[in-house]
C-alpha cells in the first residue's frame, strides 16, 4: 500500500478538489478507491459511536459510500468533498442507530462527557499551593522535536493515533473526527451532532488533549515510532 500524505496532496484541497470530483463523476476507479482507502477507517470510527458493533459500523460505511455515489452528480461543493462524505456517515449512522434501537441521545451523552472532571493535563504535573510557583508546571513538557512530516510516515504513530481515537468516549470521538480528521468548520460539527458550540469546544479540547498524551511518548522519543 503506498504511503501518502493527505495534507500535502493538492488534489484533495481547495480548487483542485474539482479535479477529483470530475474524475469520480467520470467513473475513475483509482480515484474512488483512493478516497475509500483514505477515509473509510475514520468513517468506521465515527460510525462506531452510533451502532452496537463493528459489523454494523462496516455496514454504515458501505451505505455511506453508496450515498456518496448517489449524491455525486448533485453535489455542489458548498462544503469540501471530505466534509460532505463525513456528514453522510453521520446521517447513515443515525438512521442505523435508530433502526437498531440504539439511538444514543447525543446531547445527553455530550452533557455527561462535558460535565466530567477531565483535565487536559494530569494535575500532578502542576505545583501545589506551597510551591514557589503554585499552579505552574513542575517540569515543562518534554519537547516533541522537529520534522513532524517524517514522523507522519510511521505506521506505529498512525496505529497509536487510531488507538487513541478508539479509546475516546463516543461524542469526543465524533467531534474530533468531524473537526480535525474531516476538517469540518465547528458550526457544521455542531449541526451534524446536535451540540452547542460550547460543548463542542470542550469535547474537542478533551479529545485533542488525550490524543496529545497518547502521542507524547513517541513524539519525545521516549518510545521509538
Task: Write the binding mask 171 to 200 for other proteins: x where contact by CB under 8 A, - elsewhere.
Answer: -----x---xx-x--x----------x---
170 binds other proteins (CB under 8 A): no
* Cβ atoms of 102 and 56 closer than 8 Å: no
| C-beta of residue 131 within 8 angstroms of C-beta of residue 206 | no
Helix 54-71 and helix 29-48, axial crossing angle in degrees, nearest 10: 140
Task: Choose the stretch contacting other proteins; rule: CB under 8 A; options: 14-22, 56-64, 92-100, 106-114.
Answer: 56-64
Return the residues of window 12-41 that contact other proteins according to CB under 8 A. Answer: 12, 27, 29, 32-34, 36-41
DSSP code for 177: I
Stretch that binds other proteins, among 14-22, 59-67, 87-95, 101-109 (CB under 8 A): 59-67
Q: Pick the closer one to other proteins by CB: 101 or 116.
A: 116
Those residues whose C-beta lies under 8 Å from the C-beta of residue 154, and which sit 6 or more positions away, are: 218, 225
Q: Which of 21, 23, 75, 205 binds other proteins (CB under 8 A)?
A: 205
Nearest alpha-carbon partner for 34 in 44, 24, 45: 24
Should residue 66 be labelled a site residue for other proteins when binding is judged by CB under 8 A? yes
| List 16, 19, 53, 69, residue binding other proteins (CB under 8 A) | 69
Residues contacting 8, CB < 8 A, separation 6+: 149
61 binds other proteins, rule: CB under 8 A: yes
Does position 222 bind other proteins by CB under 8 A? no
Residue 144: which of 213, 195, 55 has the closest Cα? Answer: 213
CA-CA distance, 32 to 100, in Å (whole number)? 29
Convert residues 75-114 into a mask of x (bound to other proteins by CB under 8 A) and - (unbound).
----------------------------------------
Where do contacts with other proteins occur on this chain (CB under 8 A)? 1-7, 12, 27, 29, 32-34, 36-42, 44, 58, 61-62, 65-66, 69-70, 73, 119-121, 123, 126, 133-137, 139-141, 143-144, 148, 152-153, 155, 158-159, 161-162, 176, 180-181, 183, 186, 197, 201, 204-205, 208-209, 211-212, 215-216, 219
Amino acid at each position: 500500500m503506498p504511503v501518502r500524505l493527505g495534507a500535502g496532496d493538492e488534489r484533495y484541497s481547495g480548487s483542485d478538489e474539482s479535479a477529483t470530483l470530475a474524475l469520480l463523476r467520470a467513473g475513475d476507479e483509482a480515484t474512488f478507491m483512493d478516497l475509500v482507502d483514505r477515509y473509510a477507517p475514520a468513517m468506521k470510527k465515527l460510525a462506531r459511536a452510533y451502532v452496537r458493533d463493528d459489523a454494523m459500523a462496516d455496514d454504515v460505511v458501505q451505505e455511506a459510500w453508496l450515498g456518496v455515489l448517489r449524491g455525486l452528480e448533485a453535489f455542489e461543493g458548498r462544503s469540501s468533498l471530505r466534509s460532505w462524505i463525513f456528514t453522510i456517515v453521520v446521517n447513515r449512522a443515525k438512521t442505523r442507530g435508530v433502526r437498531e434501537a440504539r439511538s444514543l441521545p447525543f446531547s445527553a451523552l455530550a452533557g455527561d462527557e462535558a460535565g466530567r472532571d477531565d483535565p487536559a493535563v494530569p494535575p500532578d504535573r502542576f505545583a501545589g499551593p506551597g510551591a514557589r510557583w503554585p499552579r505552574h508546571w513542575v517540569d515543562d513538557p518534554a519537547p516533541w522535536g522537529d520534522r513532524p512530516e517524517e514522523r507522519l510516515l510511521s505506521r506505529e504513530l498512525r496505529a497509536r493515533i487510531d488507538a487513541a481515537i478508539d479509546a475516546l468516549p463516543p461524542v469526543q470521538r465524533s467531534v474530533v473526527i468531524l473537526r480535525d480528521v474531516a476538517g469540518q468548520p465547528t458550526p457544521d460539527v455542531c449541526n451534524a451532532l446536535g451540540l452547542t458550540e460550547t460543548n463542542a469546544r470542550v469535547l474537542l479540547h478533551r479529545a485533542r488533549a488525550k490524543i496529545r498524551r497518547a502521542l507524547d511518548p513517541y513524539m519525545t522519543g521516549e518510545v521509538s515510532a
